[in-house]
């Protein structure tokens, strides 16, 4: 069994983000949502977002909700996104920061769904 350490630095964040999006790009539900993403720009933005949130960096500037509000997203997209995110974290990390990033991802997904009026949908 491979020992899993906690998230401690930006390299860990980058690995997490890279593995997450590798999986997302292969997912039949989520891949179409990301078909036109400019990865050379998107990945560094996500590294900055999560590094700012989890490591206290001041590298992210932006409004993540605004970037998603016009997309044709449904509750099942968020459910799949969260499942993949949790699986990637759990498969690679263990510790306080790993638990915190999962909690924050769930909170973000909840806020987005609420603001997009997706909370009452059944899936």
The torsion angle over the Cα atoms of residues 72, 75, 81 and 87, rounded to 10 degrees, is -170
What 3-state class would DSSP assign to 26?
A: coil
Tokens of 46: 């996500």
* CATH numbers and ranges of domains, the chain: 10-115 (1.10.490.10)
What 3-state class would DSSP assign to 121?
A: coil
> What pLDDT digit, counting tens, does each position of 83-120 carry?
999 999 999 999 999 999 999 999 999 988 888 776 55
Report, as an integer, the average pLDDT of 47-74: 82
Degrees to nearest 5, angle at CA 24 with 47 and 75: 105
pLDDT given for residue 98 in this prediction: 98
CB 6 within 8 A of CB 93: yes
**pTM (2 d.p.):** 0.87
């Amino acid at each position: 069994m491979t020992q899993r350490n906690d998230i401690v630095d930006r390299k860990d964040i980058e690995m997490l983000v890279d593995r997450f999006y590798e999986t997302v790009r292969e997912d039949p539900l989520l891949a179409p949502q990301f078909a036109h993403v400019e990865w050379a720009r998107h990945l560094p933005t996500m590294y900055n977002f999560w590094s700012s949130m989890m490591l206290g960096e001041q590298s992210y500037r932006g409004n993540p909700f605004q970037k998603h509000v016009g997309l044709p997203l449904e509750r099942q997209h968020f459910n799949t996104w969260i499942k993949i995110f949790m699986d990637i974290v759990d498969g690679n990390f263990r510790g306080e920061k790993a638990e915190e990033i999962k909690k924050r991802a769930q909170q973000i997904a909840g806020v987005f769904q609420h603001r997009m009026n997706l909370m009452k949908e059944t899936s």
